[in-house]
Structure 1
Amino acid sequence: MNFYESLGFLVLGSRLRRLSETFLADVNKIYAAHQLKFDASWFPVFYILSKEKQVSIRYIADELAVSHSAISQLVSSLQEKGLVKTTASAEDGRKKVVTFTTKGQKLQQQIEPVWKALTKAMEELAKEGVHSKHFLKAVAEMETGLASSSLFERVEAKLEK
């Protein structure tokens, strides 16, 4: 049994981070191997725009359950690269809406086949293990549990006993 396995839930965050870093590094390697100037961290915004065409920064932040500030910074970075543009909303001039530029739209179309291949590869990987096929369901259950009571609250309750 390796170090991580021996400590069980005590190092779950570290294992998930390590798994995520490995996954994202490979995804970025795939993009680079296919001469796609794309970073895995852009995926959520690109995916939402590929489906919605025009959305507010608030909408993206709410969909991803991250801060408005974090999305605003990511959108600004994508703007600097010429991949997205922001304009005032037609309905509410105080709101900014985000859309692809022509360059961003072209990149999105080029990475779509990679996303499809990635999905298939990940589904195959999940089927290789007895338990891994339930991985996404288990993650969703943990997220739901944490939404009802944070890890902080749970640990504090144990320390108060």
Structure 2
Amino acid sequence: MSFYQSLGYLVFGSRLRRLSEYFLMEVNKVYEQAGIPFDASWFPVFYLLSKHQSMPMIDIAEQLEISHSAVSQMVTNLKKKGLLKTTPCKEDGRRQLVAFSKKGAEMLQQIQPVWEAISAAMETLVSENKQTQHLLAAIAQIEQAVQQQPLSARIGAALPE
């Protein structure tokens, strides 16, 4: 048993972060091997735009449940790479609509087969072990539970007075 496994829930977050970092690293390796200059951290924005063509920046932040500032930084970075463009919203000039540039739309065509392969590989990986077949449902339950009562409150309640 590894060090992390031996500590159980005490390092639950650390194990999830390590696994997440591993998955992102491996997916980035696939993009690199395919000659696609794409970073897995861009996936949420690319995926949303692939479904909506263009979206107000604030809507992207709400959908991804991250700050407007974080979205703004990512969009600025992707604009510098020539993958996205922004235009003022017709209804409200203070809002920015985000869309793919021509280069970004071309990259989307390249990466969509990778997304399909990722889904297929993950389904195979999860189906290989009966206990992992309900992994996404279990994660969703934990996410919902900590929205109802934050982990910090649960830890505080477990501390001796």
TM-score, scaled to structure 1: 0.98
State the distance in 1 between where 2:148 and 2:56 align: 28
Match of 2:145 in 1: 145
State the distance in 1 between where 2:159 and 2:69 align: 34
State the distance in 1 between where 2:22 and 2:99 align: 30
1:48 aligns with 2:48: yes
State the distance in 1 between where 2:94 and 2:57 align: 12
1:119 aligns with 2:119: yes
Structure 1 residue 160: Cα displacement: 5.2
What do the CA deviations read for 1:124-153 (whole angstroms, capped 9, x no partner)?
Answer: 000011211111111100000010011111
State the distance in 2 between where 1:130 and 1:110 align: 33
Match of 2:10 in 1: 10
State the distance in 2 between where 1:31 and 1:130 align: 30
Match of 2:94 in 1: 94
What do the CA deviations read for 1:94-131 (whole angstroms, capped 9, x no partner)?
Answer: 11010000000000011000000110000000001121
User: SS state of the match for residue 131, structure 1?
Assistant: helix
CA 1:149–1:53 in structure 2 vs 1: closer, same or farther (change >3 Å)? same
Match of 1:62 in 2: 62
Match of 1:83 in 2: 83
Unaligned runs of 5+ in 2: none
State the distance in 2 between where 1:131 and 1:8 align: 17
State the distance in 2 between where 1:60 and 1:40 align: 17
Amino acid in the other structure paired with 1:73: Q
- Runs of 4+, deviation exceeding 3 Å: none
State the distance in 1 between where 2:57 and 2:127 align: 36
TM-score, scaled to structure 2: 0.98
Percentage identity across aligned positions?
51
What is the aligned residue count?
Answer: 161
User: SS state of the match for residue 159, structure 2?
Assistant: helix
Superposition pairs for residues 123-138 of structure 1, below 5 Å?
A: 123-138=123-138
User: SS state of the match for residue 129, structure 2?
Assistant: coil
Amino acid in the other structure paired with 1:50: S
Structure 1 residue 19: Cα displacement: 0.3
State the distance in 2 between where 1:129 and 1:2 align: 19
Unaligned runs of 5+ in 1: none
1:31 aligns with 2:31: yes
Structure 1 residue 83: Cα displacement: 0.3
